[in-house]
Amino acid sequence: MRKLRTVIVEDETMFRQLVLSTLRQARDLQVAAAFELGKPALQYCLHHEIDLVVVDLVLPDLNGMEIVRELRRSRPEVIILIITAHPSAQLPAELIALGVNGYVDKNEPIEYVLKAIETVRNGGMFFASHVQAKTAKFVPGQVRALSAPLTRREEEIARLVASAKMSKEIAMRLNLSLRTVEKHRENIMQKVGLHKVASLTRWCIEAGLVGD
């Protein structure tokens, strides 16, 4: 697996250095550039070959959402991971609508950034925040209907799966056997009518299930 060419966009010097130090621990990742301002970072991303952008939502010169919109128009293949100190209940749904692959609340452990990158690199979605997520104003029927309602246990496992927890982690956390967790996952995917974890993450956020 080749190294992800990564750009960091973060105006707070100390946090930018912390992210840089953390990402340098990843063997399969190469930090191509780091910026404190959004405009030069966006120009760099548009004119260089990159794979991943880790960008703060609030920057002095350019809103992170604007960077996301331009990258999705011009570089749709680039993976985008948002970091923010200002999470909100509506943010996950808003970011998904923009095509963001994941976001990490700055109040979470810095190691979550590495976990997020590992998840989105493999086609998943990663959303970590202490703020309870809820749906934006979706039109009726926009959230995929269920073939049967999820049980309380299935909802609990769906949240954990959508938060990038592996079956073994879920089993240990809920004191269940690995086989039981796998069966619950199978039932959840069947009821939701999906086949990929990334799609389940999207469904959980749109249904208001993903939170702390």
> What domains are defined for the chain?
4-128 (3.40.50.2300), 152-206 (1.10.10.10)
| Residue 206, pLDDT score | 66
E strand or H helix at 59:
none
In order along its 212 residues, the chain shows pLDDT tens digits of 678 999 999 999 999 999 999 898 888 899 999 999 999 999 999 999 999 999 998 899 988 889 999 999 999 999 999 998 876 767 777 777 788 888 888 888 888 888 888 888 877 777 776 444 443 333 333 344 455 677 878 888 887 887 767 888 889 989 989 899 888 888 888 877 777 776 777 777 666 666 54
Q: What is the pLDDT of residue 212?
A: 43
Rounded CA gap, 40 and 56, in Å?
14
**pLDDT, position 71:** 93
Taking Cα atoms as reference points, which of 78, 129, 133, 67 lies closest to residue 101?
78
pLDDT of residue 1: 62
pLDDT value, residue 146: 56
Residue 94 pLDDT: 77
Going by C-beta distance under 8 Å and a sequence separation of 6 or more, which residues neighbour residue 203?
143, 144, 192, 194
CB 52 within 8 A of CB 78: yes
Q: Is the backbone of residue 50 left (phi > 0), alpha (psi -120 to 50) or beta? A: beta
Per-residue pLDDT at 134: 43
